[in-house]
Amino acid sequence: MNPGFMSLWIVLILFILIATGWKPYLAPEISRRTLAILGIVMVLLLSLSIWWSPFSEHIQVELHVSVCFLMLVSLLSYKGSDDWSYIGYLILCTMMIAVIWGFIRKIYSFDPIFHWVGPSWDAPLLTGIFCGAFTSQAKHQFGMLVWGAVLGETLNAHLQSGAYTAHLGSLSWWDSFWIALAAARLFSLLLKTIRIGTSKLSLMLMQIKGGRPS
């Protein structure tokens, strides 16, 4: 599959679902206006060829301007939260996602024969599932995966000691990011459906037995 095709496919599906009334399930905390502004700005930035090498002397990492913007926006997802213990929890989860992402990429750089779904799919899928288990809020999942994908690829470049250059903002990187974000939302919705189903089943069993819910 050509790089960028998966990103385009997921974005189109996301746009169709939001336009047909699925926004309360996909991104309930983010307004349509914010989504539209972010989309327009990202399209404009993606058309630019501006790259930045923050660790040029130590780690081979090239950061696209669109990813820099995404990192700044993701920091705003924590705006208005006064629970510093929860913010610390999200930061810890982000670091865990970055470590999992980086080490899976590093392991597959040795021998990608033994894999789960595919060498380019396993890291984003696994981190997306973990992210969906860590938090159910879309804006926090977004922030965790943006920084997790950036730090994870940076860790991978560091572990490979010059044999790999992380292009954060390339088409393949965007494919991985969107796969992880889609996996996180789907897994969190699956967990929510299971909880609702279990609650309703318990209520039905109590009614059958003649009990009353508290």
pTM of the model: 0.87
Per-residue pLDDT at 112:
62
User: Which of 29 and 113 is assigned the larger pLDDT?
Assistant: 29
Query: What's the chain's average pLDDT?
Result: 86
The predicted-structure confidence for 125-138, as pLDDT tens digits, reads as follows 999 999 999 988 88
Number of helices (H) and strands (E), helices first, in the chain? 8, 3
Element (H, E) at 157: helix 138-159
Per-residue pLDDT at 95:
95
Separation CA 24–CA 186 (nearest Å): 14
C-alpha distance from residue 157 to each of 48, 58, 59, 61, 101 (Å) = 24, 10, 6, 7, 12
Domain positions in the chain are: 5-208
Give residues with Cβ within 8 angstroms of 173, minimum separation 6. Answer: 67, 149, 153, 166, 167
Indicate if the pLDDT at residue 19 is higher than 80: yes
